[in-house]
Amino acid sequence: MPATAELIGATVALAGLGILTLFSVRSITRRRPPAGERRARDVIG
């Protein structure tokens, strides 16, 4: 029984880390404008 609980705990921990990583990557990519837009602004402005 303790081995099963340990396995469940490890699975939950890995799932939590995966979710945190996913949200982190999504927020980083949302903040940063695409390279094409950056260059166009530099040329125009």
Tokens representing residue 11 in the block: 């699975």
21-30: pLDDT as tens digits: 999 999 888 8
Residue with tokens 């340990």: 6
Is the model more confident about 14 or about 33? 14
Domain residue ranges of the chain, discontinuous segments joined by +: 2-43
Instruction: Determine if the pTM surpasses 0.85.
Output: no
State CA 40 to chain mean position distance.
Answer: 28
pLDDT at site 39:
58
What is the enclosing helix (H) or strand (E) of 32? none
pLDDT at site 22:
95
Q: What angle do CA 37, 41, 42 make, to 5 degrees?
A: 120
Scanning 1-45, the segments in alpha helix (DSSP H) are 2-31, 35-44
Question: In the chain, what percentage of residues exceed pLDDT 70?
Answer: 69
Residue with tokens 């303790």: 2
